[in-house]
Amino acid sequence: AKQAGKNRFHLFDVASDAAIRIKRESLDQIAAAIAQHQLVLYYQPQVNMQTGEVVGMEALVRWLHPERGLLAPGQFLPVIEDHDLAIAIGERVLDLALSQMARWLAAGLHLPVSVNVFSRQLQQDDFVHKLRQALAAHPTVPSSALELEIVETSALQDMAQVSGLMHACAELGVRFALDDFGTGYSSLTYLKKLPAELLKIDQSFVRDMLDDRDDLAIVQGVVGLSKAFNRKVIAEGVETVAHGRKLLAMGCVLGQGYGIARPMPAQQVPGWLDQWRAQQPWVPQEDVGLP
């Protein structure tokens, strides 16, 4: 038995050595990807489903991998989430987004942009200082056009610290959104303690709310909470017109999802805006609010 135990430990060590090596290699590759400018941003529109107004764009990172093609965040972010590399990626993403906003502004497009931040970034003492510097490097971009999205994670346990940081950012004019709202274990405390302006209802609840009563109850609950706490609310995962109608009937007017537009490269945004304004293909203008 002792021998077997030893063997098990041995196997376990081999397995974790391999895991560590693979993780090390992925981290090196991601670091190289940052250095070689292989990270790019796609943008997904956020609209007022009642009026059709485009209220902003969410910046979503992609890895333009030389061999594997375009990689989604799920294919490389999980490796770095608890690592310092998250800070490097977060800073690159912020800089790319601000540069793009400046380009759009120069072309006459005023588009607010939401940028996702890792909790690892928020743990830095100089986060606000770095944010101020990033904004200063793009002087044409008003800080009020920038929104930061954070997800509730165990890394966000220090609510007092995060709350202080959010207040400091608010003084700069930068707003916060609570992303994937409803998926965490302590969303209510989170909401009470953090001065975020916007709640983003997680796409999984919205996507399934038409056939799943529990998901519908969660969506309704978050919309109710947003009203009670005087926050704005946006639904992610608006995949169809039916989703949009249901949300409007519940009093949630802001939406983001494949049914409105998929995330797209920055160059496609002006064309999409023209097309959206010309057609607003799916905005359910007639029977808004009808049961």
Contact 145, 111 (CB under 8 A): yes
Cβ 145 to ligand C2E shortest distance, Å: 17
Strands 39-48 and 254-255: antiparallel
Cβ 274 to ligand C2E shortest distance, Å: 21
Residue 215 site contact among ligand C2E, Mg ion, none (CB < 5 to 8 Å, cut-off depends on kind): none
Q: How far, in Å, CA of 14 to CA of 189, rounded? A: 42
Q: Which range binds ligand C2E by CB under 6 A, 12-20, 116-124, 127-135, 188-196? A: 116-124
Strands 232-235 and 198-201: parallel
- The residues near 233 (Cβ < 8 Å, ≥ 6 apart) are 198, 199, 200, 201, 222, 223, 226, 252, 254
SS3 content of the chain, % helix, strand, coil (to 5): 50, 20, 30
The type of residue at 76 is F
Which one of residues 50, 100, 143, 203 is an interface residue with ligand C2E (CB under 6 A)?
203
Residue 291 site contact among Mg ion, ligand C2E, none (CB < 5 to 8 Å, cut-off depends on kind): none
Q: What is the footprint of ligand C2E within residues 20-39 (CB under 6 A)?
A: none
Q: Per-residue b/e over 204-216, b at no fewer than 16 CB within 10 Å?
A: bbbbbbeeeeebb
Nearer to ligand C2E, 46 or 50 (CB): 46
Nearer to Mg ion, 152 or 180 (CB): 180
Which one of residues 147, 152, 179, 215 is an interface residue with ligand C2E (CB under 6 A)?
179
Instruction: Give yes or no for residue 244 binding ligand C2E (CB under 6 A).
Output: no
Cβ 128 to Mg ion shortest distance, Å: 20
Q: Where are the alpha helices (DSSP H) in 180-267?
A: 187-193, 203-208, 213-228, 241-250
What is the phi/psi pair of residue 254, to 5°?
-95, 140
Q: How far, in Å, CA of 111 to CA of 55, rounded? A: 7
Q: What is the footprint of Mg ion within residues 170-189 (CB under 5 A)?
A: 179-180
Instruction: Give yes or no for residue 116 binding ligand C2E (CB under 6 A).
Output: yes
Q: Which range binds Mg ion by CB under 5 A, 149-157, 211-219, 247-255, 275-283? A: 149-157
Q: Which range binds ligand C2E by CB under 6 A, 136-144, 181-189, 218-226, 236-244? A: 236-244
Number of other CB atoms surrounding residue 173 within 10 Å: 12
Q: What is the footprint of Mg ion within residues 223-282 (CB under 5 A)?
A: 236
What value does the CA radius of gyration of the chain take, rounded to a whole number of Å?
21
Nearer to ligand C2E, 97 or 223 (CB): 97
Nearer to Mg ion, 59 or 266 (CB): 59
Binding pattern for the stretch 81-100 against Mg ion, x by CB under 5 A and - elsewhere? --------------------
Strand partners, 113: 57, 146
Residues that bind ligand C2E (CB under 6 A): 44, 60-61, 72-74, 77, 90, 93, 116-118, 149, 151, 179-180, 203, 207, 236-239, 256-258, 263
